[in-house]
Amino acid sequence: MAVEVHDVDVAEARRRLDAGARLFDVREQGEWDEVHAPEATLVPMSELVARWQEIDGGDQPAIVVCHSGARSARVVAALEQSGVPAVNLTGGMVAWEQAGQPVVRAAGGDDAQGEPRHEH
């Protein structure tokens, strides 16, 4: 039986993040290094089998993001099948940036001013 994937747009994702939800980025390290949301946690899709239990949205479903929303939709389906409540960020990091949300960039193009980089 197929699992229904629930999508949220950037505005709803921001509202949920402000209310305590957590954002998980499932892109690969190189994509993350180029640009990512400062509040995101990197759990690459290629490591999902080993690390899926790290994804926890707290009191709310985890918000999952990739570049454009396709990989994260697959991850959300897998998480939901495993009993982990999750939603897909429609449009991914492309939509996130277009909506003017803060990002951390590589090579000194840091828009988030002093936000710590992900350590892994």
User: Identity (one letter) of the amino acid at 89?
Assistant: L
Dihedrals phi, psi of 42, to nearest 5 degrees: -80, 120
CA 34 to centroid of chain Cα atoms: 15
Residue 84 has pLDDT above 70, yes or no: yes
The pLDDT score that the predictor gives to residue 120 is 37
Q: Using one digit for the tens of pLDDT, what is the confidence trace for 30-47?
A: 999 999 999 999 999 999
pTM score of the predicted model:
0.86
The pLDDT score that the predictor gives to residue 106 is 85
Mean pLDDT, the chain, as a whole number? 89
- Place 108 in a pLDDT band, splitting at 50, 70 and 90: low
- Place 63 in a pLDDT band, splitting at 50, 70 and 90: very high
Residue 64 has pLDDT above 70, yes or no: yes
On whether the CB atoms of residues 46 and 28 are closer than 8 A, the answer is: yes
DSSP 3: P
Which SS3 state, helix, strand or coil, does residue 55 take? coil
Enter the tokens of residue 83.
């009993």
On whether the CB atoms of residues 96 and 9 are closer than 8 A, the answer is: no
